[in-house]
Amino acid sequence: MRDGILVINAGSSSIKFSLYVSEAGDGITLSSKGQVEGIHVAPHFEAKDPSGRKIEDKVWDHGDRLSHEVLLEFLIRWVEEHLDGATLRAAGHRVVHGGTRYAKPMLVADGLLDELEALVPLAPLHQPHNLAPIRALQAVHPGLAQVACFDTAFHRTSPRVAEIFGLPRQLTAEGVRRYGFHGLSYEYVSGRLREVAPAVGAGRVVIAHLGSGASMCAVKDGKSVASTMGFTALDGLMMGTRTGNLDPGVVLYLMQQKGMSGKQIEDLLYKQSGLLGVSGISNDMRVLLDSDDPHAAEAVELFVYRIARELGSLAAALGGLDALVFTAGIGERSAVIRERVCALAEWLGVKLDPQANQRNDLAIGAADARVPVFVVPTDEELMIARHTREVLDRQL
Ligand code: ADP
C-alpha cells in the first residue's frame, strides 16, 4: 500500500506544500511540491514535479478576497487529485514553536492545539499562520492524521546554561529564555553529515543555516548544545531583513527617545533591518554581491563578520571545532560568502579547497586543513515527512 504524506509549511502570505509517497518498508519519495503565494493580495498557485517541471499554474479573479481556508481547501483537493494511486494518510506541519514542553513531533489531538495557541505571544509573526492550516484541515478532512513538527524541538538537548538569560528567575520560569529555531534544518543536516562522514558527524560541529532567515547551531554527537537564535528568531546573525543580535539598550532608546511604538519597533527590527537596512538596496544576497555600491559591500561585510564572530562563540560552547557545515540558500550556493567566512576562521583550523568551494562540492575543505568544511543542502520538508511517518507508525 502506498501512503501519501502531505507536508505543509504555512506563513503569513504563502502556503508551501510537498507531497511525498511512502511504501511499507521502503523510503519516502517526493511526488510533487509547490505553493500558494500572495495570499490576500494576488494568490498564485504553482506545483512542480520532482524534476522541477511545472505541472500546475493558477491565478484567481478577485483572489484578494480568498481566505487562507479557501486556498487551503483548493490545495487539498489538488493534492487528492494528484496522489497517483496512493492514499492520503497524514499531513505533517512545520510549527515554529513547541515551547519548553515539546522536544519531539506530536500527533495533533485534543488539547495540543490550545497549548500551541498559548505560545503565539512567543512567535506572533509565525505561530498563528502555522496553526491555521491544522485547524482548517481538521474542518475539511476530519479523519486525517496530523503531525506538528517544531522548529524549536531539536534544541531541547541544550544545557540549561545555554538557555537562560541573565534575567530575574521569575521571567525565566515564565518562559523568557532561549528556544532556538531552524531545528528541522539542523536535524536533517546533522543526520546527513553522520551518513556521509560518520566520525566527523559524531564530533563537535557548527552548522551555519544561511537563508533569508539565518542562524548557527553547535552540535555535539548529533545533539544541539547551543544556537544563535534565542527567545525569538530575531537574535544572533544579521539576516535578510532582521537585525540579529542587538544591544537591548537600542530598543529602550527607540522607545524612550524616539517615541516609537512596539509595533513600529517590531517592524524595524524584523522587516527593515539586516542586509536590507544596512545596504539600503535589497535583502537579496545575490543583488548585493552584484552591486558596486559601498553600502551593499558594507552589508555583506557585516553579514560575514557576524557569522565569524558567532562561530568563535559556538566553538567555545563546544570546547573546540571538528567540522564546519554550510546550508540553506546562501550557504549552499554562495562560494564567495563561504570563502570570506572561512578566511576569518583560519585561526580555528579552517581552510578551503578553492576549486571544491567553487563547485559547491559536499567536502570543500583543503586536504591539509585540521577542520573539514562541508556544504550539505538542507531538506526541512523531508525531515517533516519522515517524522510524520514515524509518528504514524508508532500509533499502529
Ligand atoms: P528562506 O529562508 O526564504 O527559505 P533560502 O534558504 O531560500 O531562504 O535563501 C534565500 C537567500 O539565498 C536569499 O538571500 C538569496 O539571495 C540567497 N541566494 C540564493 N542563491 C544564491 C547565490 N547563488 N548566491 C548568493 N546568494 C544566494
Q: What is 159-194 written as a DSSP string?
A: -HHHH--SS-HHHHHHT-S-----HHHHHHHHHHHH
Q: What is the mean pLDDT of residues 1-25?
A: 89
Q: What is the mean pLDDT of residues 287-298?
A: 98
According to the CATH classification, is domain 2-150 in 1.10.540.10? no
- pLDDT tens track for 364-388: 999 999 999 999 999 999 999 999 9
What distance in angstroms lies between residue 273's CA and the mean position of ligand 1's atoms? 17
What distance in angstroms lies between residue 329's CA and the mean position of ligand 1's atoms? 3
**Are 222 and 202 a contacting pair, CB within 8 Å?**
yes
pTM over 0.75: yes
pLDDT of residue 40: 86
DSSP character string of 94-132:
EES--TTT-SS-EE--TTHHHHHHTTGGGSTTTHHHHHH
**Are 244 and 237 a contacting pair, CB within 8 Å?**
yes
**At 21, is the secondary structure helix, strand, or coil?**
strand
pLDDT of residue 236: 98
Residue 213 DSSP one-character state:
S
Residue 201 Cβ < 6 Å to ligand 1: no
CA 60 – CA 169 distance, rounded (Å): 52
pLDDT of residue 376: 98
pLDDT of residue 136: 87
**Are 16 and 9 a contacting pair, CB within 8 Å?**
yes
Give the position, in ligand 1's atom list, of the atom nearest the Cα of 378.
6
Give the position, in ligand 1's atom list, of the atom nearest the Cα of 283.
14
pLDDT of residue 156: 95
| Confidence at 238, pLDDT banded by 50, 70, 90 | very high
Q: What is the mean pLDDT of residues 86-101?
A: 93
Q: What H or E segment, with its residue span, contains residue 93?
A: strand 87-95
pLDDT of residue 141: 87
What distance in angstroms lies between residue 312's CA and the mean position of ligand 1's atoms? 24
What distance in angstroms lies between residue 137's CA and the mean position of ligand 1's atoms? 31
| Confidence at 82, pLDDT banded by 50, 70, 90 | very high
Which one of 3.30.1540.10, 3.90.1150.10, 3.40.605.10, 3.30.420.40 gives the CATH number of domain 198-380? 3.30.420.40
Residue nearest to atom 3 of ligand 1 (CA): 212
Least confident of 119-128, 155-164, 229-238: 119-128
Q: What is the mean pLDDT of residues 73-85?
A: 90
| Confidence at 69, pLDDT banded by 50, 70, 90 | confident
**Are 221 and 202 a contacting pair, CB within 8 Å?**
yes
Residue 301 DSSP one-character state:
H
CA 70 – CA 254 distance, rounded (Å): 40
| Confidence at 67, pLDDT banded by 50, 70, 90 | confident
Q: What H or E segment, with its residue span, contains residue 142?
A: none
Residue 284 Cβ < 6 Å to ligand 1: yes
Residue 187 has pLDDT above 80, yes or no: yes
Residue nearest to atom 23 of ligand 1 (CA): 333
pLDDT of residue 60: 86
| Confidence at 72, pLDDT banded by 50, 70, 90 | confident
Q: Which of 9, 12, 189, 212 to mutate to test the pocket of ligand 1 (most atoms within 8 A of CB)?
A: 212
Residue nearest to atom 4 of ligand 1 (CA): 211
Residue 183 Cβ < 6 Å to ligand 1: no
What distance lies between CA 259 and its chain's CA centroid? 33
Lookup result for grid cell 570543500: 364
- pLDDT tens track for 162-178: 999 999 999 999 999 99
- High-pLDDT (> 70) share of the chain, %: 100
**Are 38 and 13 a contacting pair, CB within 8 Å?**
yes
Q: Which of 185, 210, 286 to mutate to test the pocket of ligand 1 (most atoms within 8 A of CB)?
A: 286
Same CATH fold assignment for domains 2-150 and 198-380: yes
Least confident of 63-72, 104-113, 195-204, 305-314: 63-72
Q: What is the mean pLDDT of residues 334-362?
A: 98
Residue 344 has pLDDT above 90, yes or no: yes
What distance lies between CA 128 and its chain's CA centroid? 16
What distance in angstroms lies between residue 379's CA and the mean position of ligand 1's atoms? 14
Interacting residues of 366 by C-beta distance below 8 A, sequence separation 6+: 351, 352, 353
Residue 105 Rama label (left phi>0; alpha psi -120 to 50; beta):
beta
What distance in angstroms lies between residue 283's CA and the mean position of ligand 1's atoms? 10
**Spans of all domains in the chain:** 2-150, 198-380
What distance lies between CA 270 and its chain's CA centroid? 16
Q: What is the mean pLDDT of residues 277-289?
A: 98
Output phi, psi for 225, to 5 deg: -115, -15
Residue 275 has pLDDT above 80, yes or no: yes
The mean of the pLDDT values for the chain is: 94
Active site residue 151: yes
Residue 333 Cβ < 6 Å to ligand 1: yes
- High-pLDDT (> 90) share of the chain, %: 83
CA 86 – CA 68 distance, rounded (Å): 26
Active-site residue (options: 3, 151, 235, 379): 151
Q: Which of 96, 151, 279, 285 to mutate to test the pocket of ligand 1 (most atoms within 8 A of CB)?
A: 285
Give the position, in ligand 1's atom list, of the atom nearest the Cα of 209.
6
CA 292 – CA 312 distance, rounded (Å): 30
Residue 172 Cβ < 6 Å to ligand 1: no
